Structure 1
Amino acid sequence: MKVHELAGLRITQALVRAVYPFDSVQTVRRGPLKGYRVTVSPGMGYTYLWNLQGREWDWVRLVGKGASIYDIGANCGQSTLHLANTVGPGGTVVAFEPTPDNYQRLVRNIDLNDLGYVTPVCAAVSTADGVAQFQFDRHRPTMGRLSSANADMDNAEILEVRQIALDSYEKLGWPAPTFLKIDVEGGAAGVFGGGHELMKRCRPVVYIELHSLEEREAVRDLIARHDYRAFSVEGSPIEDPTAAYLTQLVCRPA
């Protein structure tokens, strides 16, 4: 990028931040969430408010009214609000976010929109109930991951966070899910590892954002162990999720 282009970008960013300062409450102006109120934060600012993310939320159409959703890796509620808007008051959303700052923004966004059918949970989802170490860079707050995800983050601090296994859903009083959204920056193997009974009993549809070969291998193992089939978001069958670099997959019970 040329010097004058870089300078122009910085000026534009400064102007946007002046109009939409972090932690201010703003109203979504366009798109399916028009009229919703959100707390401005990284990943939930100008482009979110004006629905400029292109096809980022196309996968939400896979969810129906009245569905029971687990939003695993909710961050500040970017996907949670879309899911809640889609399922409506007759559905439920359980939203998991382990880092305290992001969790507080998630709760605030839920409260701002009176979404009483959304349950926020301050925890990571992985292999077992307990505590875990979580890598978190405050300059990249949408990119945190469990240390067990086998990928170190530069400049990250280590937080101790609550960890929950999906198989604990009944004892924790959560409804059985019909749909899982998973975006955990490399930790999908842990999510599936702690949810074998849930996958066997509930047979939810799974939408997953993939960040590593290990996650693609975890999807391959899910397919083999629980008799699932993998598809692109557009619906094309995927025979081997490890054969190509895929960033999104939908897994359905056979």
Structure 2
Amino acid sequence: MAAGPGPGPGLGGLGGVAPMGGLGGLGNPGAASGPLGGFLPDASAQPSFKKLPSDPATLHQAFHYADIAAYLLQAPQPKSIEECRELCSQNSTCAAWEVCAPLGDGCDGCYLISRAPRRWDQREHWHAEVLPGREELGWSSNETGVANLTAASCREFLLQANGADQSVPFHEPAIMQKYSACGSLVWEEERPKELDVLGQHWPTFLISNFWEPPVLLPKEVEQEMLASSPRAPRSPTPQAQAMLEAMQRPGVTEQLHGTIGSGTWEEHRRSKARAPHAFVLPFYDTNIGHWMKQHGSMNPLQSYEMQSLLQAGDTVVDVGANLGCYTLPFAERVGPAGKVIAVEPFRWLRQIVAANVAINGLSNVWLPPVGLGAGRSSFEARAPQFRFFSSPGGMKLNQQQQDMKPEEVMQMYDWDMPPERISVVTLDELLGLVPGAGTELLGLPPVDGIRLIKIDVEGMEKEVIAGARQAVQIFKPIIWSENVAYFSSKGQDVSFLQLMDELEYTCAGAQNAPNDIICTDRQGRGHQIQ
């Protein structure tokens, strides 16, 4: 097989060096022989290998690997010449086949090709053929080479694709088009939910192909909510509006995709109503982790209710992110122009949130390595127990053993690891609303408004709000907070409600979360719920 062409115009930054030809790094072919399927031999061909009259017409014939790399229907297999031709004949999407020899050193046997190559070379003992009648297959219907793709063939192609290996072509428009198209095809294939157990220092679940129930608020559910409680449309903040407008204009990413003729991921995502999700979860988490494994959220209805308060471009502060079961839908709901500041003080839990943000391809989440409170402090606290059955959703920052039985304390916290250092700041410090040395190093984005503050901090909600007075007064956000003390005392503990009253907020119980309350400015200022 001869070396393929280098990158096309405008792709100097996407490879630069023309990949070497040949299958799996084999050298250039020898001479060309007679015509193959009516197509032309390579101009650089050398004298033919000897061929007896009894030899099949396909002997010593080969394709340029650059011409077939983007059109392989499946991973190559060690098949005989007769078996390979029969496999191609039986597959209506197969235009050509090739068998390399000898096996090894990158030669894997039988190759099935979905687009008929237009040129050929000669290699001793190889066999290749364009099936009669299939000379135009893959050309007339789709010049980009993405016709006849299947999710199974795409998986094999994506597993083998390697832009860093210069022995095989990758940085060519047709191959990169197929790479993009295959990613979209595999992404949208609805397969059954899968579970893997991974982990080195402690075990984890990896849940993939999560489709039901939807993580993002379904449109039909949102329509039902709006029918019962109509809401006037809101204007985004100036910062969010500028971002939304910028995203409507062609950007550099779109131009880059235009150089090879592939669509952007944003375009593909907008055309689909549903999306798969994946979660990294602690194996021994018997509470929130198990709910996420089955339902994608600790409470899907609560998630939907909170999402219904948001729109594109909003900013959300998620205080007590835990595993990220609400962080993820918040980030999807507010879109790339929005922001989610997720606060999880425990390092192991914060790393899981980061993993879930990354594995779901979200670009608008910030995870500062701090906790929130009424003032600045620093202390040691026990890490969550991830190596035995436990419920990390109940982790406390301070007074970790208070009101707990000894056996519960042993299970909740990891006593075989040294305590970790926890830094606590106020939300006002974190957002730069009051002077706070060092918080500018956390890399948070500028915030010109907050639509929602969600709080679940195991009884520390008063401290969080006490440290967020400036944010509340300036932005007038909706505050959604767990307040177990009020509900468990049957309304006797009103300390959190009194604090909200001081801030001129009024509160009511959340519809789908029995221990949560929703608070808004009682003068009707700022963000309200109809």
TM-score range, shorter chain: 0.7 to 0.9
| 1:234 matched to 2:511 | yes
Q: Which has the higher contact order (CA 8 A, sep 6+)?
A: 1
How far apart, CA to CA, are the structure 2 residues paired with 1:220 and 1:134? 28
Distance 1:134 1:27, change over 3 A: farther
**What is the match of residue 204 of structure 1?**
477
Instruction: Name the TM-score, length of structure 1 as normaliser.
Output: 0.77
How far apart, CA to CA, are the structure 2 residues paired with 1:201 and 1:64? 20
How far apart, CA to CA, are the structure 2 residues paired with 1:150 and 1:218? 22
Q: Describe the SS at the equivalent of 1:40.
A: strand
How far apart, CA to CA, are the structure 2 residues paired with 1:80 and 1:116? 12
Q: Deviations over 1:75-134 (max 9, x none)?
A: 121110121122121211000111111111111111112211111122211012331344
How far apart, CA to CA, are the structure 2 residues paired with 1:148 and 1:204? 30
Task: Extract unaligned runs of 5+ from structure 2.
Answer: 1-193, 198-203, 216-274, 433-439, 523-530
Which of these residues, 337, 345, 362, is aligned with residue 90 of structure 1?
337
How far apart, CA to CA, are the structure 2 residues paired with 1:150 and 1:229? 33
Question: Larger C-alpha radius of gyration, 1 or 2?
Answer: 2
Which of these residues, 427, 443, 446, is aligned with residue 166 of structure 1?
427
Distance 1:54 1:119, change over 3 A: closer
| 1:28 matched to 2:210 | yes
Q: Any conservation in 2 of the 1:134–1:144 contact (CA below 8 Å)?
A: no
Which has the larger displacement, 54-63 or 30-39?
Answer: 54-63
Q: Any conservation in 1 of the 2:384–2:395 contact (CA below 8 Å)?
A: yes
Q: Which amino acid aligns with 1:247?
A: N
Distance 1:247 1:40, change over 3 A: same
Of Structure 1 and Structure 2, which has the larger fraction of its residues in strand? Answer: 1
Q: Any conservation in 2 of the 1:71–1:93 contact (CA below 8 Å)?
A: yes
Q: Any conservation in 2 of the 1:39–1:108 contact (CA below 8 Å)?
A: yes
**What is the match of residue 89 of structure 2?**
none
How far apart, CA to CA, are the structure 1 residues paired with 2:400 and 2:464? 11
**What is the match of residue 132 of structure 1?**
379
Instruction: Name the TM-score, length of structure 2 as normaliser.
Output: 0.39
How far apart, CA to CA, are the structure 1 residues paired with 2:357 and 2:288? 14
Q: Deviations over 1:120-178 (max 9, x none)?
A: 12221101233134455412211111216894543345543111201113334442422
Q: Describe the SS at the equivalent of 2:392.
A: coil
Q: Which amino acid aligns with 1:125?
A: L
Q: Percent identity?
A: 19
Instruction: Kindly report structure 1 stretches of 4+ aligned residues shifted beyond 3 Å.
Output: 43-47, 132-137, 148-153, 156-159, 213-218
**What is the match of residue 48 of structure 1?**
292
Distance 1:219 1:119, change over 3 A: same
How far apart, CA to CA, are the structure 1 residues paired with 2:290 and 2:485? 29
How far apart, CA to CA, are the structure 2 residues paired with 1:30 and 1:182? 26
Q: Which amino acid aligns with 1:182?
A: I
Q: Describe the SS at the equivalent of 1:208.
A: strand
| 1:250 matched to 2:518 | yes
Q: How far off its partner does 1:232 sit?
A: 2.2
Which of these residues, 353, 359, 362, is aligned with residue 115 of structure 1?
362
Q: Which amino acid aligns with 2:332?
A: N
Length, aligned pairs only: 227
How far apart, CA to CA, are the structure 1 residues paired with 2:400 and 2:346? 16
Q: How far off its partner does 1:23 sit?
A: 3.8
Which has the larger displacement, 140-149 or 206-215?
Answer: 206-215
Q: Which amino acid aligns with 1:79?
A: Y
